[in-house]
Amino acid sequence: MDSQTIKKLNFDFSGRFYVENITDRKNRSILIKTNTLMDYEKIKEKLAPCGLHCGKCFAYEEGDIVKYSKTLKNNLGSFEVYAKRFVDLLDKPVFEKYPDFKDMLECFAISDCSGCRKEVCKLFKDCKVRLCSENKGVDFCFQCPDFPCENTGFDEHLYKRSININIRMKEIGVDNYYEEIKNKSRY
Ligand code: SF4
Ligand code: SF4
């Protein structure tokens, strides 16, 4: 977009924006980006009220970690038989660790959380944010008049993380925040 372009953006309560009208100096309409309610609802399925990205959680049943763990598990088949042989055959003691790796892979592959919008978090059992945000009628903590609060039930690390995420969402909007993090590991 050049410096001659005039933008008129509308912001709503959720922090998302949509384009009301964009024209250049010659009064030509330019559509840059439109975010719909549907987009926002889809994003909400992935982001918890605390801001953590359920979509990238190892426990999320529709997430890449579960999906690729299942694929890897299927592809490895009965690899344990070969792992034992490869210790000597390839002179690689690391293959002795295969049973532990297999257990971990199995753990990832059977994870089945449907996300914070649908069920209580399976990782952070003391989380108070989910219920609290419902009672407050907000989708994310940054939309709450009491944000930031001490009512999260989080440990120090998670608390800081949640605050920073919510500040960022407030700053740039939920849609833009999601664009920023959607392909990044949450770990
Ligand atoms: S609700 Fe908790 S366990 Fe489930 S996907 Fe989200 S962060 Fe992971
Ligand atoms: S009171 Fe705290 S935990 Fe509850 S919605 Fe507001 S900011 Fe989030």
CA angle 143, 120, 184 (to 5 degrees): 65
Q: Judging by beta carbons within 10 Å of its beta carbon (0-12, 13-18, 19+), is residue 86 exposed, middle or buried?
A: middle
Q: Give the ligand with the smallest distance to the CA of 162.
A: 2
Amino acid at position 100, single letter: D
- Locate 154 and state its tokens: 């989080």
The rounded Å distance from CA 14 to ligand 2 centre is 15
From atom 2 of ligand 2, which residue's Cα is the shortest distance away? 149
How high is the pLDDT of residue 41?
93
Residue with tokens 């940054």, as numbered in its chain: 142
Q: Is the CB of 54 under 6 A from ligand 1?
A: yes
What is the 95 CA–ligand 2 centroid distance (Å)?
Answer: 48
The DSSP line for 54-114 is: GGG-TTBTTSHHHHHHHHHHHHHTTHHHHHHHHHHHTT-GGGGGHHHHHHHHHHHHT--B-
The bound ligand whose nearest atom lies closest to the alpha carbon of 140 is 2
Tokens 């070969």 sit on residue = 82
Does the beta carbon of 52 sit less than 6 angstroms from any atom of ligand 1?
yes
Residue 185 C-alpha to ligand 1 middle, in angstroms?
14
Q: What DSSP character marks residue 185? A: -
Does ligand 2 have an atom closer than 6 angstroms to the CB of 56?
no
CA distances 47 to 56, 74, 121, 146, Å, are 9, 29, 12, 20
Task: For 180, list phi and psi in degrees, rounded to 5.
Answer: -65, -35
Residue pLDDT tens, the chain, 187 long: 444 444 444 444 444 444 545 555 666 655 555 555 559 999 999 999 999 999 999 999 999 999 999 999 999 999 999 999 999 999 999 999 999 999 999 999 999 999 999 999 999 999 999 999 999 999 999 999 999 999 999 999 999 999 999 999 999 999 999 999 999 999 9
121 lines ligand 1 (CB under 6 A): yes
Q: How far is the CA of 27 from the centre of ligand 2 (A)?
A: 44
Q: Residue 109: CB within 6 Å of ligand 1?
A: no
How far is the centre of ligand 1, averaged over its atoms, from the C-alpha of 16 (Å)? 23
